[in-house]
Structure 1
């Protein structure tokens, strides 16, 4: 391993009474891709936010190229060649690629923005990264994957020598992920050092040189990836108190002869997604499996009133219902954990408590005044205890929680509304392996109590672990329905979702 370009020594950070980092060491070599992994709340994101100037350390040292540095702001980090590629992108959709790349650093000529020169410089950066894009294209016209690439181009344009990737592949297709890896290898060859945060162990084994595991605010191990297996990394993350991940299929019992709780007939959402037919019984977990863009999200959003159906019918317990808005859906007993929890599932500036009681807040208000704080406190306290939420207290802003704990609050707020049909769209995206197991357990428990679940995930292993039946969707059409007991291995489901 080449000489360290960056060292973090005995980094300590607390938020109030909570000691998040307890003397963590981390080093990064020139031209290295270094994985940083750990469970939700382990401290990995906090460590990286200290490196990138979002947070300031309480104590410890940051040494860059042999010199101790004080990084007290994101500008300090940029001056030291450090940039973070966030999971939630920071691009401005209404601006062009070139305008985004030079945002805040506009090139000028005679006191005016030099649009032509910015386009030329952007084109050089894009070509360097192998991106065939027009610098004048508005970011709003780009796919999620291409937006991610533009984020990287923006950092590279500032001559960043250290890049931090936070769950970079969470929203990417397989082909986009392959292109991302190609770009990372290219940057590595150019001497750029990278920290790679991901919950996807297969990616870490493929793209990273070393891995550092953080658990409970402390560094557990740093080792070459080639010397570790996936199982060994997971074991280090979870420690001696490892919880069962619940990823194995557990045959479930529900009344197959019961009246259908939900029946969808000939649902047409648009010209592509048409003639959708399925039913689900109380206590059943039904999977929607398909490639990205197949129509899984659109079906759930239509059932939740976020999209308007062109035609078809929705029946609850044998009676036709009209769902024209999310309010209609909630009144009928639907709940939805959306694909993007931060944009669609939470109010990030609000507290845990405020988010958790959002769907039932009307019940706690009298004459326009919130007058039942004790009831709200008791409900949220039970949510935190039942779902194992790790937080300082219920009045903590939810944006400060880890991804897995945020997701638990999204689930908790809908459990508080006592739904009949709970829909989950990619519920474990950006969540560590322990929290994944906990979320799967929560879903099973809901179904065991008689609720119906519709579950969509790109992780086929999760579909295999949790679903009783799986509907396969290809290009907006249902292509089959498979009983879980009929599936012997994941490859069979993989082939099924790729057949017309």
Structure 2
């Protein structure tokens, strides 16, 4: 097979921060290539450069025998590249036929030729073994059918390369099988597919080769055959199987402590299928897993953001079903979310107001905030957590990432919680601040708090956790107590190689 796409030494920076550093990607005609990497690896940025949404700073792109530099996604589509994103980009109230021919509607004497459009839509839909009414709005159909409509649109565009970003994230097993059959049919017809995914079993079932990205670089590329899942995970995470010295403290295995919060066979949708874990008094429980394993979604269920559909949650031995965050907060549960800029801080508000947001109902009397008590609490936690700031009135957006994270920790600590869920506690902060945050969590646990620490950094889990539960594709596949915690065991569990 001849080379269809060659991206060499691609670089891209935003505000002086390098997002891509010498990335390379090659795809041959008629092959299915996997593109993998954790959050922040640079996959999305690379695809946006290829499709013209971003302009590269350096490097070269050659597609279908020509040097290219697409100026917009529309231009890349005209050049033979079709992209189907995780959130399928269809017009929901328009018909299947209208979506397939969107912006390319056949016309006769200047008028829309609906007969040609319907006939063409029916013909291409039949290729995918679908029996649907092409005059129906796409909103009436399942996610799998909408996915097929998006692929059908790409096929009618005479695409040579189809990029699919997390196409199975909202599909069940039967729908995934249908999708894979469709992709294989497209491959037989000469279409190349770039498959961006995270489910290892799916990658090995569908793809021939893999390109691995990490920290804005290409770190591996080659055939999947002969590459073990454990080696693939190691490439994605950048870990060597060596002993790791815990930061700040060498934790020792302890006896069984009382369970404070228990999840048994919890599930919701396709992201969380069967999760069981225990949070014990005075312990840090780590929650590990690759991108898409269901870690953050499990936290959302536990905190009442998403609805529990299956399984049981108990707090202090009593059954719980949190329908909204206020119910979880009333039980003494706090959540520091993964993306502090989107779901955490209110950037233009002061440190004082950000820190006391969750406590406001208790600070109010007759609708008026007790400012004296509020100031006492804010000053105490600024001192206790070592938050570096000019004053409580300073806007939180002016603080460093590490100090912003401390303010969010304080937001929940001032409510006197019994359980603290913290998702990616050190993302986007420097190594010194990372150590401080981990030590803070350790001290809080030593004082009796139950901590659920979600992290994609193995060093953090090995440094601070008393036990780690590992998720894979929404299922808990391993529960490792301190005495069994090692980098090798974590990698093996994340690669589905569980004894």
TM-score, structure 1 normalization? 0.62
- Retained in 2: the 8 A contact 1:304–1:336? no
Tell me how far 1:191 sits from its aligned partner: 0.4
In structure 1, how many angstroms separate the alpha carbons of the residues matched to 2:325 and 2:56? 43
User: Residues 157-186 of structure 1: CA distance to partner in whole angstroms, max 9, x if unpaired?
Assistant: 222110112222223222222222111111
In structure 1, C-alpha distance between the alignment counterparts of 2:469 and 2:226, rounded to whole Å:
40
Is the CA contact 1:215–1:238 (under 8 Å) kept in the aligned structure 2?
Answer: yes
Distance (Å, rounded) in 1 between the aligned partners of 2:41 and 2:278:
41
Change (3 A) 1:114 1:347: farther
Q: How has the CA–CA distance of structure 1 residues 372 and 107 changed in structure 2, closer, same or farther, with 3 Å as cutoff?
A: farther
- Is the partner of 1:212 in helix, strand or coil? strand
Change (3 A) 1:440 1:206: farther
**For residue 79 of structure 1, what is the aligned residue in structure 2?**
78
Counterpart position of 1:464: 478
Confirm whether residue 304 of structure 1 aligns to residue 309 of structure 2: no
Q: 1:176: which partner in 2? A: 175
Q: 1:388 aligns with which of 416, 426, 434?
A: 426
Which deviates more, 107-116 or 22-31? 107-116
Q: Does 1:58 align with 2:70?
A: no
Tell me by how many angstroms 1:51 deviates. 0.9
> Could you tell me how far apart the structure 1 residues matched to 2:36 and 2:469 are?
30
Matched, 1:123 2:126: no
8 Å contact kept, 2:20–2:42: yes
Equivalent position SS for 1:199: coil
C-alpha distance in 1 between matches for 2:196 and 2:109: 43
SS at match of 2:62: strand
The correspondence of residues 30-429 of structure 1 with structure 2, limited to 5 A, is 30-109=29-108, 111-239=110-238, 282=281, 304=304, 325-334=324-333, 347=342, 362=357, 372-373=393-394, 380-382=401-403, 387-390=425-428
Q: Distance in 1 between matches of 2:179 and 2:481?
A: 31
Inter-partner Cα distance in structure 2 for 1:184 and 1:439:
39
Q: Is the 8 A contact 1:7 1:63 kept in 2?
A: yes
Equivalence map 1:467-478=2 (5 Å): none
Deviations 1:313-368 (A, max 9, x none): 99966899997744444344345799xx99xx9859x989689x99857369989x
Residues 125-167 of structure 1: per-residue CA shift (max 9 Å, x gap): 2111222332233333333333322222222222211011222
Instruction: Give deviations 1:471-499, integer Å, cap 9, x for gaps.
Output: xxxxxxxxxxxxxxxxxxx9999xxxxxx
Deviations 1:410-452 (A, max 9, x none): xx9xx9xxxx89999xx89xxxxxx27579779x84x87xxxx
CA distance in structure 2 between the aligned counterparts of 1:211 and 1:196, rounded to whole angstroms = 9
Q: Highest Rg: 1 or 2?
A: 2
- Partner Cα distance (2:237, 2:302) in 1: 38
The answer (yes or no) to whether the contact 1:163–1:193 under 8 Å persists in 2 is yes
Contact kept, 8 Å, 1:126 with 1:153, in 2: the verdict is yes
For 2:457 and 2:40, locate their aligned partners in 1 and report how far apart those are by CA, in whole Å.
14
Q: For residues 222-260 of structure 1, what are the alpha-carbon distances to aligned partners after superposition, in whole Å with 9 as ceiling and x for unaligned? A: 222224222333333344667999xxxx9986866x5x8
* Cα distance change on mapping 1:353 and 1:391 into 2, 3 Å: farther
SS of residue in 2 equivalent to 1:56 = coil
Contact kept? 2:100, 2:121, Cα under 8 Å: yes
> Could you say if the C-alpha distance between residues 382 and 169 of structure 1 is closer, same or farther in structure 2, counting changes exceeding 3 Å?
farther
Residue deviations 1:357-382 (CA, integer Å, cap 9, x gap): 99857369989xx9744567658524
Counterpart Cα distance in 1 of 2:150 and 2:334: 33
Gap runs ≥5 in structure 2: 245-250, 269-276, 288-296, 361-368, 372-390, 407-423, 431-440, 483-495
Looking at structure 2, the residues matched to 178 and 322 of structure 1 have their Cα atoms a distance apart, in angstroms, of 34
Is the alpha carbon distance of 1:279 and 1:237 closer, same or farther for their aligned partners in structure 2, counting shifts above 3 Å?
Answer: closer
User: Using the alignment, how far apart are the partners of 1:22 and 1:74 within structure 2?
Assistant: 23
Aligned partners of 1:19, 1:298: CA distance in 2, in Å? Answer: 32
Q: Measure the CA separation in 2 of the matches of 1:375 and 1:332.
A: 28
- The 1:254/1:78 distance shift into structure 2, 3 A limit, reads farther
The two structures have a TM-score, normalised by structure 2, of 0.62
Contact 1:422 1:454 in 2 (8 A): no
CA distance in 1, matches of 2:142, 2:348: 33
Rounded to whole Å, the distance in 2 between the matches of 1:202 and 1:262 is 31
- After superposition, the Cα gap between the structure-2 partners of 1:380 and 1:353, relative to the gap in structure 1 and judged at 3 Å, is farther
Distance, in Å, in 1 between the alignment partners of 2:218 and 2:472 is 31
Q: Which residue of 2 aligns with 1:24?
A: 23
Which 10-residue stretch deviates more, 70-79 or 173-182? Answer: 173-182
Following TM superposition, by how much is the alpha carbon of 1:389 offset from its aligned partner in structure 2, in angstroms?
Answer: 1.3
- Give the direction of change, closer, same or farther, for the CA distance of 1:334–1:322 in structure 2 (3 Å limit): same
User: Do the aligned residues in 2 keep the contact of 1:423 with 1:455 (CA within 8 Å)?
Assistant: no
Give the Cα–Cα distance (whole angstroms) in 2 for the partners of residues 332 and 180 of structure 1: 43
d(CA) in 1 for partners of 2:284, 2:4:
53
Unaligned runs of 5+ in 1: 270-277, 288-296, 393-411, 429-434, 469-489, 494-500
Q: CA shift at 1:113, angstroms?
A: 4.2
Cα distance change on mapping 1:359 and 1:323 into 2, 3 Å: farther
Residues 372 and 91 of structure 1: CA distance in aligned 2, closer, same or farther (over 3 Å): farther
Residue 403 (structure 1) aligns with:
none
Task: Tell me if the contact between 1:285 and 1:466 (Cα under 8 Å) persists in the aligned partners.
Answer: no
Correspondence for 1:290: none
Question: Equivalent residue of 1:53, what SS?
Answer: coil
SS at match of 2:479: helix
